[in-house]
Amino acid sequence: MPTIIPVILSGGSGTRLWPVSRARYPKQLIRGLVTPGESLLGATLARLPAGRDVSPPLLICNNAHRFLVKEECERVGVTPSAILLEPMGRNTAPAIAIAALHAAAKDPSAVLVVMPSDHVIRDGERFCAEVQRAAEVAQRGNIVLFGIRPTEGHTGYGYIRRGEPLAGDTGAFAVARFAEKPDRETAETYVASGDYLWNSGIFVFRADVILGELGRLAPEVLEAAERAIAGAVADLGFLRLDAGAFAAAPSVSVDHAVMEKTKAAAVIPLDIGWSDLGSWSALWDIAPRDDDGNVVRGDAFTEDTRNCYIHSERALVSTIGVEDLVIVDMPDTVLVAHKSRAQDVSRIVSRLKAANRTEHEQHIRTHRPWGYFETLNIGPRFQVKLLHVKPGGLLSLQMHHHRSEHWVVVQGTAKVTVDGRESLVQENESVYIVATQWHRLENPGKIPLELIEVQVGAYLGEDDIIRSDDVYARSPEETK
């Protein structure tokens, strides 16, 4: 058996789970969304443990998420074989081309198992067994898809119609056709026929086989990926793809670029407790419910309320006499939607983008490689933040033209540098930094450092930062 390489695609933004999922902190990174204390990415990293035939995973993620992804790998104790950084999203075909090129450089016959980072699979043991079966089928030159046996006429999934069984006792079938997300009546017809499966988006194939099909069916995708890999540079444990070359790749899914055209497509039907968590109603489907069919995450009182999904991270949510609603209460926004319209949440995200709002992109809590900061209050000439710095965390050496800052330590010990002078600032002590002074903050201790930052000035934007040194090698547009 050749080496099996898990490939985890973690470039999505999860718009249909807005407002919990945001572009800069998407659903695969959020802990506790399905299982307390665990993220979807963390569960995916552990899904195919490295062993004799399975190599450590290869990750492909958005450049903006790189430190969060690395932190999640460290948290679950998985060391990836590589983390490849996409400078921008280009859908799954370019990402898969990049992964296959990277793997083929060492072993063209390696079998890749491509998994999105944001799926739920309840039966992990069965999944691992089916991967081994699929790898054997892939060895024969097939591009294998996992098809999920449908439990309902779901309109949010694409479908695969299975054809004749492949030769041998493989449990795999030829793919007769792919079907886009159908309307309700068509979906129910698919399920009733018994010939259709949900398209899981999980693939198993040899690196050389998928590269051959990309070269034949989508040469522009493969050419852009080859240039992006050739121009890639190592950066703090990441492999940064050439931005110009990758930008030239068409933004296209591997389904459209290859799978709908190739003669090598095969499908293995599965029952593994799978969900792609593509909407709030999907979360309601898989979560434990109370006697009235409600799923409650956070603080809520329900009265005469049935079959609702309630998620609160801020205040007490109270409901009376409602059914089939999704209610999500975040510190900066509230979503109320009928469960049957949960797939349409991305429309709100599109409207926020068109209006140049920021709620689609960023939470009030903004994550940084050194920790995070959280906006507590904003006024005409002031802003108050909570800064949380991990042990060993070090902010850049920086200067602001338009604002002064007053730091009050509320937990831990801060090492503060102001115009070259270092001092230790302990709990209930403070330091004042005048505009144009060069300054730096570090946590030298063993516990998290927390301080309140009060900014005062004519302009308080995060882009008012001049850096002279940053251990995280961030670009000028990546703030603080």
pLDDT of 396-415, one tens digit each? 999 999 999 999 999 999 99
Residue 392, Cβ density class (10 Å: 0-12 exposed, 13-18 middle, ≥19 buried): exposed
pLDDT band at 473 (very low <50, low <70, confident <90, very high): confident
CA pair distance 429, 443, nearest whole angstrom: 15
335, containing H or E segment: strand 334-338
pLDDT band at 392 (very low <50, low <70, confident <90, very high): very high
Angle of helix 207-217 versus helix 219-230 axis, rounded to 10 = 120
Only one residue has tokens 């098809």, namely 147
Whether the predicted pLDDT of 480 surpasses 60: no
Whether the predicted pLDDT of 211 surpasses 60: yes
pLDDT of 17-75, one tens digit each? 999 999 999 999 999 999 999 999 999 999 998 887 899 999 999 999 999 999 999 99
pLDDT of 261-303, one tens digit each? 999 999 999 999 999 888 999 999 999 999 999 999 999 999 9
Whole-number pLDDT of residue 191: 92
Whether the predicted pLDDT of 449 surpasses 80: yes
Q: Please give the sequence-ordered ranges of beta strands (E in DSSP) within 356-457, or none if there are none.
A: 365-368, 371-378, 382-389, 397-399, 403-411, 414-418, 421-425, 430-433, 439-442, 449-457
Query: Could you tell me whether strands 325-329 and 334-338 are parallel, antiparallel, or unpaired per DSSP bridges?
Result: antiparallel
Would the pTM count as exceeding 0.85? Answer: yes
Using alpha carbons, select from 196, 160, 207, 172 the residue that is nearest to residue 7: 207
Whole-number pLDDT of residue 479: 56
DSSP state of 323: B
**37-40, long-range: CB < 8 A, 24+ apart:** 39/72, 40/117, 40/118, 40/119, 40/120, 40/277
Q: Where are the domains of the chain?
A: 4-275, 280-353, 365-469
Specify the fold of 4-275.
Answer: Spore Coat Polysaccharide Biosynthesis Protein SpsA; Chain A (3.90.550)
Whether the predicted pLDDT of 2 surpasses 80: no
Indicate the SS3 state at residue 156.
coil
DSSP state of 286: H
**What CATH homologous superfamily does 365-469 map to?**
Jelly Rolls (2.60.120.10)
133: left (phi over 0), alpha (psi -120 to 50) or beta: alpha
Q: Residues 269-291, buried b or exposed e (16+ Cβ, 10 A)?
A: bbebebbbbbbbbbbbbeeeeee
